[in-house]
Structure 1
Amino acid sequence: MSDLPDRRLNAYRPDLAEERLRGVVEAANYVTGTTCVVCIPVVQLRSRPELECGTDTELLLGETVRVLDSGGGWAWVKADFDDYVGYVPDYAFTPVVRSLTHIITAPRTFVYSGPDLRLPTVQALSMGNRIKVVDQRDMRGTRYFLLEGGEAVIANHCAEASLPLGGDYVSIASRFLETPYLWGGRSGFGIDCSGLVQLSMMMTGRTAPRDTDMQATGLGTPIDRSELRRGDLVFWNGHVAIMEDEKTLLHANGHTMTVSHEGLNEAIDRIGWLYDQPTGYRRP
């Protein structure tokens, strides 16, 4: 087994590495990177600068990254939120020039050209997207938040960015029911099992590693199956599910290709023939 740091969380190549890895890995040059902010609702992060390469995770509007290198239409970045490293199209970022005041709390919502639901939509946003609100307006009983360009979002689909949505991340995860399963997905447009855990926890002010194996070893504490309760996690090799109560779980899964409910015993029986029994249980 290699003693080199995990490439998902540590930025290094033969020609370049992040400064904190000086003396840990060999590289021709070391950089600290430039802080930028994601400027589109969702962008896929890949392990190579190729569109044919599968998605490892996604970055969301308003999240900050350190750009370590760029060229050929791609940027090599490290996400500030969870340290994930990879390549994204360079059009997805801008310099950090403004503070963001609110975060989207609905799984999906629209940006309208003005404060009226009858006006054209100009963009779709996901839960976790961060925006700057400059004013508000009421129209026929609906309150809108106004953005810098005059566009508007539904105020009830937003919350102040500094205020987490309470402590029950399971209730947040349940808002994603029937959202399509998407490998590497981390948004209301498509999400995978560990992305559902991470994004739901983020919305309640908690942090979680991105991938299932990271969560299985570094999130919370191990427990026995007999102790399972709401909010606990069940792990298989390459999969994680959230307990809604002692008998039912919620997960983004490739069986239904959605976020869905399933009985714990039924899930264990169904998954077992292909992926064996659960590898562990944890209380985050």
Structure 2
Amino acid sequence: MTMLDRRLHAYRPDLAEAELEGKVEASRFVEGVPARVSVPVVALRPAPELARGIDTELLLGEAVTVFDRADGWCWVKAASDGYVGYLPAEALSEGRPAPTHIVTVPRTFLYPEPELRKPHRAILSMGSRIHVAGEAETRGNHYLVLEDGTAIFARHVQPIGALDGGDYVDIAARFLETPYLWGGRSGLGIDCSGLVQLAMLMVGRQAPRDTDMQATGLGQPIERSEIRRGDLAFWKGHVAVFEDGETILHANGHSMTVARENFEAAVDRIGRLYEQPTGYRRVML
């Protein structure tokens, strides 16, 4: 049997997703059950243990396929990028209506009703998906109302179908000063490849989740002399977005934020501790 990337293929000795039958060994193969994330943000982990590190995060309204439920955990595959892992069962719900809108600002608040003076119920990240059931106006502020009566500022969201094109670098720059978080993929904390993936999502483009996946499967390889705005620079385990030919945006463990940095200065700094860039890719053709 071929060894498949367990980050993108759901298989264990006792259980595997149905589409892998004949490709991997498992005692049982299942189709899985659809569900959606019902909390603002939840960590996806490689094992059902809170002590394990975060592989990535899923946001409110994102769709998953659930292959197993046991001991308060679900083993799932994310619909957006195919990532496989474990998350708490309480973070999911089945039968939720399909999202109609997506949050388009780095962070926003969900209120118990259409009133900004009320204590907020949750903080939602850019990329969170909601189902809008109605509208309301309070003192000139326009809100969208969800099926449970909670409300969100209307200008902070767009219809999902409206995400089409645009400059993903502008989106990435809106996350400047956001805290760095290993495995993070939200406006509350984000890592380098999460920044690339989320920024591209917001202009209607799909991107793999992890740096090694992006370095081999996103766009086309180019030379340093060809660099322009929107291109990517890769190191082993790191990625940065070129804002122009000399400046990068990247979530990094040096500043512990999303930062703007001179590219050559970053190469020198990173090279003293780790290695030189491994390559460059053009993702917006």
TM over 0.5: yes
Q: Which residue of 1 aligns with 2:45?
A: 46
- 1:34 and 1:198 mapped to 2: Cα distance? 25
* Percent sequence identity over aligned pairs: 61
Q: Is the 8 A contact 2:104 2:156 kept in 1?
A: yes
Deviates more, 1:176-185 or 1:99-108: 99-108
Whether the 8 Å CA contact 2:2–2:23 is kept in 1: the answer is no
TM-aligned CA deviation for residue 166 of structure 1: 3.5
- Cα shift readout 1:39-90 (whole Å, capped 9, x = no counterpart): 1111100000000000000011111111000110000001111110110000
Number of corresponding residues: 283
TM-fit CA distance, 1:141: 2.6
| Aligned counterparts of 1:236 and 1:57: Cα–Cα separation in 2 | 19
- Structure 1: distance between partners of 2:149 and 2:29: 42
Spell out the pairing of 1:216-231 with structure 2 (5 A cutoff): 216-231=215-230
Query: Mind listing any 5+ residue stretches in structure 2 that lack a counterpart?
Result: none
Counterpart Cα distance in 1 of 2:175 and 2:95: 30
**TM-score, length-normalised on structure 1?**
0.97
1:99 CA drift (Å): 2.2
- Listed as ranges, the gaps of 5+ residues in structure 1 are none
Q: In structure 1, the residue corresponding to 2:271 is in which secondary structure?
A: helix
**CA RMSD, aligned part only?**
1.1
- Distance across 1 between alignment mates of 2:197 and 2:255: 20
Show the 5 A alignment for 1:269-280.
269-280=268-279
Provide Cα deviations, 1:208-255, integer angstroms capped at 9, x if missing partner: 000000000000000000111110000000000000001100000000
Task: Look up the match of 2:64.
Answer: 65
**Runs of 4+ deviating beyond 6 Å:** none
Q: Which amino acid aligns with 2:124?
A: L
Report Cα offsets for 1:94-151 as digits up to 9, x if no partner: 1133121110011111011221211121111110111111222222232111112222
Deviation at 1:276, TM superposition (A): 1.2
SS at 1:214 equivalent: helix
Whole-angstrom distance in 1 between the partners of 2:164 and 2:36: 23
Indicate the larger mover: 250-259 or 154-163.
154-163
Q: 1:115 to 1:165 in 2, by over 3 A?
A: farther
Match of 1:80 in 2: 79
C-alpha deviation, 1:165, in angstroms: 5.7
Partners of 1:196 and 1:96 lie apart in 2 by 30
Q: Which AA in structure 2 matches 1:56? A: D
Spell out the pairing of 1:253-268 with structure 2 (5 A cutoff): 253-268=252-267
TM norm structure 2: 0.97
